[in-house]
A and B are shown apart, each in its own frame.
Chain A
Amino acid sequence: MKRQIPLVLVFVFGVLLAIQYFVPSEASQRGYEFVLDWITIIGIFAMVLGIWSQIHVGYNKIKHRSEDWQYSVVTLVSMFAMMFFGLSFFGGLHGTIFRLIYNNVFIPIQATIFSLLAFYIASASYRAFRARSAVSTVLLVAALLLMLRVIPTGPLADPINKIGNWMLLVPNLAAKRAILIGVGLGGVATALKIVLGIERSYLGKD
């Protein structure tokens, strides 16, 4: 009951949906769409668990006055404030305050975190691009040449540009293809392990 039925469910639904891919009939399409909705709906209901997890972790920190507990107050307050202003009374998703917070807190923070990458890509290049071995030298040279494309190098600009394009279109394409094929096989194998019940640790013990 606790472990066998879920395993049967995984197997039956896994096999059915794998077969569904090959069956274009209307019943099969409708079934597919219905089942996809299940996934979405389970995900939505699970959000309650996510929010509970946030509250639980935050509450424990505040209760035990553990380090930085004050910030958990910030998280909880801002979370509830956002939900409060998102109520349909305030206009839901289009409520004024909701939009203002979204546009002036959420968006700038999001964009700024993304832009930190500019700094990290620089520090990573400095630290990691060292000609330690043949392999790392190849990595270094390839990256350097592509970066040099941006810099005005006078008569060298054309050859550097050509090498850069060649690297993107020949070795890069080959590498991408090989990885994608490998990923495909590995992915199918993993999915198969789940469907056949070879991997079952997510079902717990007992």
Chain B
Amino acid sequence: MEQTVSIGTILWTTVGVFLTFCLFSFLYKDNPFYKFAEHLVVGVSVGYWAILLYYNGINPNLFSHLFVFANDPTTGAEFNTWTPRLKGIHYIIPALLGIAMWTRFSRKYSWISRYPLALYLGISSGIAIPVTMKNNVLSQLRGTVVGLGFDWSVSGFLGVPQGIWDVVVVVGTISSLIYFFFSKEHKGAWGGTAKLGIYTLMIGFGATFGYTVMARISLLIYRIQYIRDWWKMIF
């Protein structure tokens, strides 16, 4: 089947493939091609991020509160009329906080930037306290009891009842938690349990590692197919 591809598409795809090779060359050693691709992508990504923040960040989060937006009659696209909107006047506060960040350009007033930073950390930490307690501690505690079936009639791995394995999960969790205690030295029975904990952790880590290999190889396959498609497009 004959496919017509525009010269522009070929050129742009070739750029992509060229950059792909530049990056793969890093596996051999650091070289000018890699350096070029690396610095290029850093520049492009900063530029992209800045533009994205302008359209999808500052417009909806700040300007839409402070100013009146209108719809372009022909395209329907929203645009800023720069007319102040009194209802959102309280958004002056974050705007001032944001501008306070810029005092870092001055040596004399840079301490003002500590106000927004302090708020940033204070707010994030305050939010995190109950949420982390719930998601990490309580939900996991709940999971050990409710998430597992404790079904004694179903035979699981090695013909052992599934319920036994569920108990093993809890025992593994407990011994791994014991490994994390800071106040007590790993000695005697305590140390033995901690040892069991570290083995549990290591089996878990090994399993995750081995399990992930396939997903990582898939990434490479996709890349090679990308190059192969380009090859087919050109020749």
Q: Tell me if chains A and B make direct contact, with any CB pair below 8 A.
A: yes
Binding site for B on A (CB under 8 A): 1-3, 5-7, 9-18, 20-22, 34-52, 54, 68, 71-72, 74-83, 86, 92-93, 98, 100-119, 121, 125, 134-136, 138-147, 149-150, 162-185, 187-188, 190-192, 194-195, 202-204, 206
**Known A104-B15, A174-B169: A21·B131 in contact at CB below 8 Å:** yes
Q: What's the least CB distance linking A83 to chain B, in Å?
A: 5
Q: Is B223 an interface residue (CB 8 A)?
A: yes
**Known A42-B98, A44-B98, A164-B207: A15·B126 in contact at CB below 8 Å:** yes
**Known A184-B135, A184-B137: A48·B102 in contact at CB below 8 Å:** yes
Cross-interface CB contact of B128 among A2, A112, A188, cutoff 8 Å: A188
**Known A112-B23, A172-B204, A181-B141: A105·B114 in contact at CB below 8 Å:** no
Q: What's the least CB distance linking B71 to chain A, in Å?
A: 15
Chain A interface secondary structure, helix, strand, loop or mixed? helix
Residues of B within 8 A of A79 (CB): 42-44, 46-47
Q: CA of A75 to CA of B42 in the docked complex: distance in angstroms?
A: 6
List 7 tightest A-B contacts by C-beta distance, closest first. A82-B47, A184-B136, A142-B206, A146-B210, A174-B172, A175-B204, A45-B98
B50 and A51 contacting across the interface, CB-CB below 8 Å: yes
Q: Is B17 an interface residue (CB 8 A)?
A: yes
B35 and A71 contacting across the interface, CB-CB below 8 Å: yes
Cross-interface CB contact of B40 among A78, A103, A146, cutoff 8 Å: A78
A82 and B127 contacting across the interface, CB-CB below 8 Å: no
Q: Among B115, B156, B220, which residue has the most Cβ atoms of chain A within 10 A?
A: B220
How many of B's residues come within 8 Å of A, CB to CB? 117
Q: Which residue of A lies closest to B51 (CB)?
A: A86
Q: Is B117 an interface residue (CB 8 A)?
A: yes
Residues of B within 8 A of A42 (CB): 94, 97-98, 101, 116, 119-120
Q: Which residue of B lies closest to A92 (CB)?
A: B55
Q: Among B95, B143, B200, which residue has the most Cβ atoms of chain A within 10 A?
A: B200
**Known A18-B129, A142-B206, A162-B157: A9·B122 in contact at CB below 8 Å:** yes
Q: CA of A75 to CA of B205 in the docked complex: distance in angstroms?
A: 38
Q: CA of A153 to CA of B48 in the docked complex: distance in angstroms?
A: 48
Residues of B within 8 A of A48 (CB): 101-102
Q: Is B83 an interface residue (CB 8 A)?
A: no
Q: Is B187 an interface residue (CB 8 A)?
A: no
Q: CA of A21 to CA of B12 in the docked complex: distance in angstroms?
A: 50
Q: What's the least CB distance linking B120 to chain A, in Å?
A: 6
Q: CA of A113 to CA of B20 in the docked complex: distance in angstroms?
A: 9
A139 and B27 contacting across the interface, CB-CB below 8 Å: no
A6 and B117 contacting across the interface, CB-CB below 8 Å: yes
Cross-interface CB contact of B48 among A15, A21, A106, A147, cutoff 8 Å: A106
A171 and B203 contacting across the interface, CB-CB below 8 Å: yes
Interface string of B191-228 (1 = CB under 8 A from A): 00000011111111111111111101101101100100
Q: Which residue of A lies closest to B204 (CB)?
A: A175
Residues of A within 8 A of B89 (CB): none
